[in-house]
Amino acid sequence: MSSNPPAPVSNFIRSIIDADLASGKHASIATRFPPEPNGYLHIGHAKSICLNFGLAQDYQGTCNLRFDDTNPEKESEEYAQSIQDDVRWLGFEWNGQVRWASDYFEALYGFAVELINKGLAYVDDLTPEQMRQYRGTLTQPGQNSPNRDRTVAENLDLFARMKAGEFADGAMVLRAKIDMASPNINLRDPVIYRIRRAHHIRTGDQWCIYPMYDYTHCISDALEGITHSICTLEFEDHRPLYDWVLDNITIPCHPRQYEFSRLELHYTITSKRKLLQLVNEKKVNGWDDPRMPTISGMRRRGYTPEGLREFAKRIGVSKSENIVDMAVLESAVRDDLEARAPRVMAIINPLKVTITNADGALTREADFHPNHPEFGKREVLFGETLFIEADDFSEVPPPGWKRLTPGGEVRLRHSYVMRCDEVVKDAAGAVIELKCSIDHNTLGKNPEGRKVKGVIHFLSCKHALPAEIRLYDRLFNVPEPDADREVDFCTHLNPASLTVVQGWVEACVQDAAPETRYQFERLGYFCIDRRDHQPGKPVFNRTVTLKDSWAREQG
């Protein structure tokens, strides 16, 4: 049987690349991932990372990481570092050094001067309100600015003085001179430079004018020799401007832009502005809150990079609408954890069980994973007092019940068959303890003369390790929380998105490192929290349930 990995699933971008390589248009490919360092990356960015870096890997090309740092007020080193960490955690490495749009500020200024000299850019001092009025609408053409016919000499002088800081913020802009009657509003003399006195994370106070994204991005691509500039569909109408800029400056490389549909994931949001609002209003506990759709939040929750890469593979790349249910993401993560997470037992809703005939009871070894003996074994400790899940006992069981009942028997996982002999209640009638007995002849084998169908998990009270267990669920309780612009999306926050309980887990996990993942048998997949974990005082985050219970509960 071949050990070669399966061939990548084809898509329209791969078809374009295949044709470009076959025709000799390109000898190799170069892609880039160009985030703005103004927030943490989210699941939509993960799809783009897997696409851009994945293409570079599959075609033995290169992928640059380039920060679009042209909006200094909102950018920070914290965001830039988190993005680098996320890319590496997903399993990718960029080509050479990290690149920044600010690396090209001098070159970008020079190209703007070239456009002015060619009569293709002009300085405009219309107010923002006047500029909107002159711009026109989707159905009405725009009007030329009164400043559109300034001479080249006047524009060069004003632009140099803008750079020198002679004018107030917002007093003037540099615009490309294209076509105010174009049906594509992006070509109606777009702004390509504005005055903005803001301290920049890399250039400090060296500049007081900053280039706009549409102008910067295409030139950065060209300077880096990018062959395939891949972005989401909202930039499709910007492609003519991308091409116009490169067609009208002296630059040898002209990359091509290709657009794919952005990811819309149900039961969450992927607007960085709205994610920042959740953080600032303390609706969540930071950008890496495990309920957030950020890569750092999903990492902290226990998602695996392999699971996220598999998710990106499953949803594919196309130009058609890409609305995906959360269950698809959870399934990809669950399938990955099924193969890699060791099994242990944990109790999150304990009910005390006293074993009345525990004398002589033995312990057994159990595999950490039934299909991976290389994961090793651990000792499943037994004692005269146990914890079981309260949900595994019923005084009046429903039809088909296979767990514990008064007078009934169950098998304890990796241990004995146990019978419930007595139910102890408090003054209010609540069950607080069970008194049970074990069949000493059933350790590792079935009882003689009778069948026991149910299996439940347990912990020895004496040996169990206390743990804080955080039961995470979906952040929103409707599929599209920001669909209605008239309604604050925060009204759809799921009040049950986090439940914190004091639980218990097998002592074999006490020395595990942060981000170690386990399957808690019959409960779900859990991960040791990377921020709040302390040796001997573990904090576990529920990554995902064993099955997709959400659809059933909501039905």
Among candidate residues 286, 259, 110, 95, the one with its CA nearest the CA of residue 193: 110
Q: Where are the beta strands (DSSP E) in 13-167?
A: 30-33, 62-67, 99-100, 121-124
Region 290-303 average pLDDT: 98
Look at residue 552 in the predicted model and tell me its pLDDT.
46
Q: Are residues 484 and 447 in the same domain?
A: no
**Rounded CA separation 238/192 (Å):** 13
Question: What's the CATH code of the domain at 542?
Answer: 2.40.240.10
Look at residue 255 in the predicted model and tell me its pLDDT.
97
**In a domain? residue 353:** yes
Look at residue 1 in the predicted model and tell me its pLDDT.
38
Domain containing 385 equals 346-456
Q: Are residues 423 and 486 in the same domain?
A: no
**In a domain? residue 432:** yes
- CB-CB neighbours of 143 under 10 Å: 14
**In a domain? residue 16:** no
Look at residue 453 in the predicted model and tell me its pLDDT.
86
For residue 2, pLDDT beyond 50: no
Instruction: Kindly indicate the confidence band of residue 553, based on its pLDDT and cuts at 50, 70 and 90.
Output: very low
**Residue 152 Rama label (left phi>0; alpha psi -120 to 50; beta):** alpha
Give the count of domains, the chain.
3
Look at residue 78 in the predicted model and tell me its pLDDT.
96
- Give per-residue pLDDT as tens, 485-495: 899 999 999 99
Q: Are residues 337 and 474 in the same domain?
A: yes
For residue 168, pLDDT beyond 80: yes
Look at residue 3 in the predicted model and tell me its pLDDT.
47
Between helices 105-117 and 213-223, what is the axis angle to 10°? Answer: 110
Could you tell me the two tokens for 454? Answer: 């149910």
- Average pLDDT of the chain is 95
**In a domain? residue 184:** yes
> Using an 8 Å Cβ cutoff, are 55 and 17 in contact?
yes
For residue 210, pLDDT beyond 50: yes
Look at residue 555 in the predicted model and tell me its pLDDT.
39
Look at residue 385 in the predicted model and tell me its pLDDT.
97
Q: Are residues 325 and 195 in the same domain?
A: no
**In a domain? residue 23:** no
Indicate which residues carry an active-site annotation: 36, 262, 272
> Which is it for strands 517-520 and 350-355: parallel, antiparallel or unpaired?
unpaired
Q: Which helix or strand (DSSP H or E) is residue 167 part of?
A: none
> Using an 8 Å Cβ cutoff, are 470 and 540 in contact?
yes
Q: Are residues 452 and 354 in the same domain?
A: yes
Q: Are residues 449 and 361 in the same domain?
A: yes
For residue 5, pLDDT beyond 60: no
Which of 425, 456, 487 terminates a domain? The answer is 456
Region 155-174 average pLDDT: 98
Q: Are residues 319 and 372 in the same domain?
A: no
For residue 406, pLDDT beyond 60: yes
**Rounded CA separation 368/541 (Å):** 19
Look at residue 535 in the predicted model and tell me its pLDDT.
84
Region 46-71 average pLDDT: 97
**In a domain? residue 72:** no
Which of 212, 229, 254 terminates a domain? The answer is 212
Q: Are residues 430 and 522 in the same domain?
A: no
Q: Are residues 380 and 352 in the same domain?
A: yes
Which of 426, 456, 486 terminates a domain? The answer is 456
Question: What's the CATH code of the domain at 186?
Answer: 3.90.800.10
**Residue 119 Rama label (left phi>0; alpha psi -120 to 50; beta):** left
**In a domain? residue 73:** no
Q: Are residues 446 and 359 in the same domain?
A: yes
Between helices 213-223 and 239-247, what is the axis angle to 10°? Answer: 60
- Give per-residue pLDDT as tens, 130-139: 999 999 999 9
**In a domain? residue 258:** no
Q: Are residues 397 and 435 in the same domain?
A: yes
**Rounded CA separation 85/300 (Å):** 13
Q: Are residues 117 and 165 in the same domain?
A: yes
**Rounded CA separation 328/56 (Å):** 26
